[in-house]
Every structure is written in C-alpha cells, then in structure tokens.
Structure 1
Amino acid sequence: MRKSSRRVVLAARGRRARSRAPSGVYPARVQAPRASRGRIRGRAWWLPLAALVVAGAVAGVVTAARGEVFGGFQDLLVYQYAGGALLDGRSPYAHDDPASGLPFTYPPFAAVLMAPLALLPGWLAASLWTGASVGALSGSVVLVRRALGRTSPAGLVVLLTVAALALEPVWQNLTFGQVNLLLMLAVLVDLLGPERRLSGVALGIAAGVKLTPLVLVVLLAVAGQRAAATRAALTFAATVAIGILAVPGAAAYWADGLLAPGRVGPPALAHNQSVYGALTRMLDSGPPTLLWLLVAGPLAAAVVLVAAAWWRRGDRALGTCLGAVAMLLASPVAWSHHWVWAVPVALVLWERHRWAAVAWAAVFVTRPIVWPPWGAGRELDWGAQEHVVGNAYVVAALALAAWAGCGQVARSTMVAQRRQVD
C-alpha cells in the first residue's frame, strides 16, 4: 500500500509540474530505452538521404526546364557574373550581367562567396544550386519542427518539402536561382539551434550576403541574447572588411548603391511586397524617404519587440518568424521570392491554429499579388480593393503581427490578474 501511494503521489507531482510549464516551453522528453535509441540511430541516415533524393529530383526537373517558366535562372547568372568579375580583377558593379541584363546588387562580400560558381558550367551550377536550395528547405523544416518540440521522420520531411514547393516564394527561388533558401537555413541554424560558442556567426554571414538579416541581430539583442548578437555584429563587420579588401569597386557600393532601391528593379512592381513597395503603389511617384522611415521604422520596431517577447517566453520559433517578418516589412525591396519565410510561419501556425495555417499558406500558393493588373506601371492605377489584394503578403504579415501582439497582451493581462489573486 505504501509503495502504491508513493507512486500515486509522484505521478500527481509530475502532472502538476507539467501543468506549470509556460505555454511555448516544451518539457524535456523522456529518454528512450536503449533498444529504441538503437532503432532511432539506425533510421537517422534516412533523413539526409531522403532530402538528397528530393533535392536531386527537383534539381533535375528545374534544370531540365531551365527555370524558363518564370525565372530562367536570372539571379544565378548574376551571381556567376559577379564571381567571374572578381576572379578577373574587375568590379562586379561596373556593368550589368550581359547574359541576364541585370546588375549585381548585393554587398561586396557576396561576390567573394559567389566566385566558385563562376568556375562551373551553367547547367552544373544550376543543378547544384537548385539541389542545395531544396536541401536547405528540408533543413529549415527540420529545425523549425525541432524548435516546436516535434520529431521529423524522413517521410514527413519529404512530404512537407514537396508541399512547400507549391508556395510561390519557394518555386520563384528555384526558377530564378535565388539565394534566399540558403540564407534562411543559415539564420535558423543560429536562432533555433542549440546555444554554442559560435552562435551568431552564421547570422552575421547571412547579413554580409544580404543586409536585411541585420534586423534579426537586433532581435537577438532585444531578446537578451547579447553574446550571440555581438558575435553576429562582429562577423558582419568582418564581411564588410573582407569585401572592401577583396572586391574592386566595393567603396562605390557602400557610397552609392546601398540607398538606391530602384537599382534592383521598379519599387512599384507588384512583386515588391514591402511597406516601401505598398506606399509606392499608393502614392504613384513613390514615398519620400522620411515618410517611409516614419511608417516602416516604428512598424518594424513594434514587430521586433513582440518577437522578442515571444522569444523570452520560450517560443523561439514564433519569435524568429516574427523577426523575419519585421525584416521583410522594413526592407525597401522585398521581392516575392524573399518571402520564403512563409514556410516556417506556416509550420508555427499549424501548432496553434490549423485553419490559420491553411489560410496563411493559401495566400502564398494562390499568388493574389498578381491578380490585379501589374507591370508597366499599372500598379499605380490600382483602386482600394486592388491595393488590398495586390499587397496580400504585406497584409498577411500585418495580420500575423497583430495576432502575435494581441497574444502577448492577453498573456500579460492574465499574468497580472493571477498575481493580484495571489
């Protein structure tokens, strides 16, 4: 009887301990028996193999089609041009890429990383780049699910990766040969991976390739991760120094190209799903810099504060996604293929409100941003309804931020009421 009573008391204590765990903080799993752990280790090799098979299949299909449905690997051609210019001792900013007709608009450090691509024939570069991008997508799925306290069987990872290919930002990345999926993985490794001595370095490198991840450095600092934020900032500074030393014309980029959003394309184009893009379409001639800063700055700051609150609460997955949303809203140019962060957001929403996750994913699958007339300046003639539909990614992001902010307010109110009762 005594042993039975003791077991009942211990079980009750365990239930009370679990019930006290704050929402978003997941209790440690019970360690599997040795035999089960052996089976898990035996199956672990299936995950990278499955990701490799999916990546190879997608790479073969996209490369065979040459991405010509929408992209033609234009951005990958620019990367190869920039790398080739650097290897030849020329400035990648002096001329546009003759193959795509597009300029190289990334920081100088990006040209250093792109140099090996210039040594590959086009078909091989496209195959490897596409395969690496799909592999990065699979890795991102695994990291987000792990942060949510979920396991990632190989079959499920393959299924989710294939499903994510239906989202417009993802397939646009593949057909254009864009770098965003690789950068997203680098950011997630730092923000969702275990704390380690080099935490922040991958984020700093990502910011050196594309400046917008600097917003996530701010998120780390506000969330109390000052060591990782410092390492990220120092790493970014190192990428700037490397670019200045290694890339001809680097000074011109920092002096002239940095604050010229029109250099990367027409900011009024429907595919520019940022606050700046939305304001440009509303105001015809484009917003003054001051107006953009007055709107985008406080908005991004508010989203970062909400993201940091969720992070401190223990929900790093949602906090990271909100930080990425702030990054996209604040950027003067956030092309639709920059919105690959729609995939992690969908995974996070699925754990809370499945219909919200479905609605969120539907926005990025159905591509409403091109439902109104677009191109050749036709966005400047949109009416009120067309602005709502044509800015769908921005609207969805604002709705997500509002939901997350209301969740924090509700939780703070509930905690305050409990303290008064106590």
Structure 2
Amino acid sequence: MTARSGLGVQQRRSLVLVGSLAWLAGMVAMVAAEHGGFVDLAVYRFGGLSVLDDLPLYELGEAGTGLPFTYPPFAALLMTGPALLPFPLAVGLWTSISVLALAVTITLLLASHGRPRSSYVVPGLVLGALAFEPIWANLLFGQVNLLLMAAILVDLLGPGRRWSGALIGLVAGIKLTPLVFVVFLVLIGRRHQAAIAGLTFLVTVALGFALLPLASSAYWSHVLWDPGRVGGVPYSSNQSVLGGLTRLAGGEPSTAVWFLVAGAIAGPVLLLAARTWRRGDPALATCVAAIAMLLASPISWSHHWAWAVPTAIVLARSGRRWAAASWSLVFVSGCIWWPPHRDDLELAWSPLQQAVGNAYLWAALALVLLLARTRAAVRTEASEPVGVER
C-alpha cells in the first residue's frame, strides 16, 4: 500500500469518526430539546420567524425565553432556515453542524503545524474539546460561535482562494465583533483580503436594508447602541475588559474609561498578533487576534471564548506545553462560575472571588504577557553579537 493510499484511509477513517460524533451529538441534542433549553437557538429562530411573519424584529422577545433578538437584520434573514424546521430537528442539525465546525477548526490548526499521523487525532481532540466550558456552553445554548470560528479560520489558515476574506465579512454581518479580523488582515499586509472582507460586510448591511428596511433602520440607529438588550455587563459570564472593570470597580465605568482601558489593552494585543503572523506562526497569531477581539468587545460571554480550544492546541503544538496545560485547566474548570453570580452579586466580590471569577480575562492577559515577553527575549537574543557571553 502506498503512502498516499494509506493517507487516504486515515482521512476516511477520521471523517467517519468525526461524522459519527456529530451525528451522536445531534441525536442527543434532539432528544434533550424536547425538554427545553437551547435558548439562544430559540432566539435565532424567533428572528427568522419574525422575518417570515413580517413581525417587528426588535420590538418583541422570544416567547419561551423573553430574550430579544440582538443581531443585525442580515442574521435574521439567515435564520429563516432554522425557523422553518421543528425546534427539536433544528437543534439536532445545529448541534451536528457545530461539532463538524469544531472538527474543521481543529483540522486547520493541526495542518498549520504538519499533518497528524493518526486518524484518531482529530476525533480525539473534538472529544477533548467538549470538556472546555465555552464549548459545551455553545452546544447547550445552541450558539453560533463554533460556526463563526471555523469560517474565520478557513479564510486565514485555509488554502488561498480568489475570494479569501469573504467569510470574515460574512460572519461580521452576523455578529459584528469579527470586524476586528478585517483590521488584522490590514496589519498583516493582506489588504486585498481585507477589502473583500469589508465589501462583503457592506453587502450584508445592504441586503438588510433592501429586504428589512424598518428593522435595519432600527438596528443601526438605536438597537446596536443599547447595551441593556444584550444582558447585564457585571454578569460573571461577561469575560471582557468592560466586564472585569465593572466587577472590580463595583459599578460600570464611563464609556470614556472603558474605551481608554480596553483600547490600551486590545490594541497592543492585536499588534502582537500581527507581529506573530509575520514571524511565521499564523495559527498562534489568529488566536491572539481573537483574544484581542474578546477583550475589546463590551460583551464577551463565556461561550464566545470558544477560541480557548484553538489556543490550547496551538500552544501545545508549538512546544509551550505548560502554558497549554495551565490555559486548558482554567477553561475546563469553568471556575468563573464558582463565586456568587447573577442579580449583580458580582459587584460585591471579594479579592479572591475577583481572582477566580475573572479567570478567563486573567488567563488571556497572562498569555499575552508571556508571548510578548518570549518575543522580546528572542529579539534581544537575535540582536546580540556572536561571541557575547551571557
């Protein structure tokens, strides 16, 4: 048997295993949906149903949860598909597709460091990823983050295509925070892809105005700027700079203070990501850019931190095993839920509770400092004349 045919067998076996995992997850989710849950997917379907039934998209809340639709009108147009399906079937398909998206993410990351030798690596890592709190939170809520993450990585780490960048623009039309990656594309010199991403995003906005003019006017004029629609900023699930500042200060800071602090942190992190890319580590650079996005966003719920899994894989594959283990421990433990939370109890946390309840934020800042320090050490070492004693 040739190496090529052996590789084909491995790939087929891996695909069968991953497909079986996705199918099993979908079946379990479909049964569980008969008893409730999957609240975010219910809100997505509410957005789709509002479009189909010509109902006000942003004036009502989903009947079962009372939660409003908070995404751009273009996202509601896409959600008409799930809205046409019975809820359990929509949950089952959504869960299966989310698991497949996770497998795509892992495959792209592994390929960036050399093809895995075993057909069990990708399925094994998919199973292991389910232990991360942000991942199982995505699946339990029926969130969209795993699909968005895979699309971004296809554009950045996948084979180059004429329309590379379009997926980033598309997902930015669903959830605005991926616009950070348009800036990232500019910083790494991929200005053509950045232009495609920006143009695609504008097309999603234009489609919203063309097909849902009233909803689009409402969204871009005032819904987008209303933080109360998204949820409580102090809530422990919000592991952004704004969330951390609010809990530490015992109250939400002014917009100016948030912009100043978040910009002073997220800006250098994005620059570090660009330098990491230019240094020849695109996978790690993409993860660092995602961390900048999560830090800068006013709301970064724990399920938005699905990027914890790619980061752990990249750290381990690049030889930073202690960092990968420490990072994984934080996100597998889900320790942000240990202190008292809900009903603004977070505003009265003790110093120890602040340390534990803001753990995702602290882990991200610690990792960025570690990477920046490592890069500085490498640069200093490279600049020393040959023969200098150290």
CA contact (8 A) 1:79 1:114 kept: yes
Which residue number corresponds to residue 186 of structure 1? 151
Q: CA deviation at 1:38?
A: 2.2
Which residue number corresponds to residue 169 of structure 2? 204
Supply the distance in 1 between the matched residues of 2:75 and 2:219 (Cα, whole angstroms): 12
Which residue number corresponds to residue 348 of structure 2? 381
CA contact (8 A) 2:276 2:284 kept: yes
| Matches for 1:211-230 after TM superposition, within 5 Å | 211-230=176-195
Which residue number corresponds to residue 72 of structure 1? 37
Match of 1:306 among 272, 286, 289: 272
Q: Does 1:410 find its partner at 2:373? A: no
The structure with the largest alpha-carbon Rg is 1
Any idea what SS the aligned residue of 1:406 has? helix
| TM-score, structure 1 normalization | 0.88
Q: Does 1:325 find its partner at 2:291? A: yes
Any idea what SS the aligned residue of 1:166 has? coil
Quickly say closer, same or farther: Cα 1:284–1:155, change in 2 above 3 A: same
**AA partner of residue 142 (structure 2):** G
Q: Does 1:281 find its partner at 2:286? A: no
Identity of aligned residues (%): 48
Supply the distance in 2 between the matched residues of 1:217 and 1:372 (Cα, whole angstroms): 36
Quickly say closer, same or farther: Cα 1:223–1:419, change in 2 above 3 A: farther
Any idea what SS the aligned residue of 2:177 has? coil
Q: Does 1:297 find its partner at 2:280? A: no
CA deviation profile, 1:320-364 (whole Å, cap 9, x unmatched): 000000000000000001000000000011122212211111111
**AA partner of residue 229 (structure 2):** R
Any idea what SS the aligned residue of 1:213 has? helix
RMSD: 1.7
Quickly say closer, same or farther: Cα 1:320–1:90, change in 2 above 3 A: same
**AA partner of residue 215 (structure 2):** G
Any idea what SS the aligned residue of 1:154 has? coil
CA contact (8 A) 2:266 2:293 kept: yes
Q: Does 1:134 find its partner at 2:99? A: yes
CA contact (8 A) 1:67 1:174 kept: no
Which residue number corresponds to residue 354 of structure 1? 321
Which residue number corresponds to residue 332 of structure 2? 365
Gaps of 5+ in 2: none
Supply the distance in 2 between the matched residues of 1:102 and 1:147 (Cα, whole angstroms): 40
Supply the distance in 2 between the matched residues of 1:339 and 1:385 (Cα, whole angstroms): 22
Q: CA deviation at 1:284?
A: 2.5
Any idea what SS the aligned residue of 2:83 has? helix
Q: CA deviation at 1:419?
A: 8.5
Supply the distance in 2 between the matched residues of 1:93 and 1:200 (Cα, whole angstroms): 30
CA deviation profile, 1:218-277 (whole Å, cap 9, x unmatched): 111111111111111111111111112122411111111212222111111000010011
Supply the distance in 2 between the matched residues of 1:344 and 1:192 (Cα, whole angstroms): 12
CA deviation profile, 1:138-168 (whole Å, cap 9, x unmatched): 1111011111224264311111101100111
Gaps of 5+ in 1: 1-33
CA deviation profile, 1:273-309 (whole Å, cap 9, x unmatched): 1001111112223010000000001211100000000
Any idea what SS the aligned residue of 1:403 has? helix
**AA partner of residue 122 (structure 2):** V
More displaced 10-residue stretch of structure 1: 83-92 or 320-329? 83-92
Match of 1:268 among 234, 239, 244: 234
Any idea what SS the aligned residue of 1:44 has? helix
| TM-score, structure 2 normalization | 0.95
Supply the distance in 1 between the matched residues of 2:274 and 2:34 (Cα, whole angstroms): 38
Q: CA deviation at 1:418?
A: 4.8
Q: Does 1:336 find its partner at 2:302? A: yes
Q: CA deviation at 1:107?
A: 1.1
Supply the distance in 2 between the matched residues of 1:153 and 1:244 (Cα, whole angstroms): 49
**AA partner of residue 320 (structure 2):** H
Supply the distance in 2 between the matched residues of 1:320 and 1:306 (Cα, whole angstroms): 10
Q: CA deviation at 1:368?
A: 1.0
Q: CA deviation at 1:89?
A: 2.1
Supply the distance in 1 between the matched residues of 2:386 and 2:149 (Cα, whole angstroms): 40
Match of 1:61 among 3, 15, 28: 28
Which residue number corresponds to residue 142 of structure 2? 177
Supply the distance in 2 between the matched residues of 1:43 and 1:368 (Cα, whole angstroms): 37
Quickly say closer, same or farther: Cα 1:104–1:420, change in 2 above 3 A: farther
Supply the distance in 2 between the matched residues of 1:177 and 1:49 (Cα, whole angstroms): 24
CA deviation profile, 1:8-46 (whole Å, cap 9, x unmatched): xxxxxxxxxxxxxxxxxxxxxxxxxx9211222244222
**AA partner of residue 79 (structure 2):** M
Supply the distance in 2 between the matched residues of 1:119 and 1:280 (Cα, whole angstroms): 40
**AA partner of residue 132 (structure 2):** L
Supply the distance in 1 between the matched residues of 2:338 and 2:148 (Cα, whole angstroms): 29
Which residue number corresponds to residue 258 of structure 1? 224
CA contact (8 A) 1:306 1:408 kept: no
Which residue number corresponds to residue 27 of structure 1? none
| Matches for 1:113-132 after TM superposition, within 5 Å | 113-132=78-97
Which residue number corresponds to residue 111 of structure 2? 146
Quickly say closer, same or farther: Cα 1:152–1:225, change in 2 above 3 A: farther
Supply the distance in 1 between the matched residues of 2:263 and 2:115 (Cα, whole angstroms): 35
Which residue number corresponds to residue 16 of structure 2? 49
Q: CA deviation at 1:420?
A: 11
Match of 1:232 among 187, 191, 197: 197
Q: CA deviation at 1:77?
A: 0.5
Which residue number corresponds to residue 92 of structure 1? 57
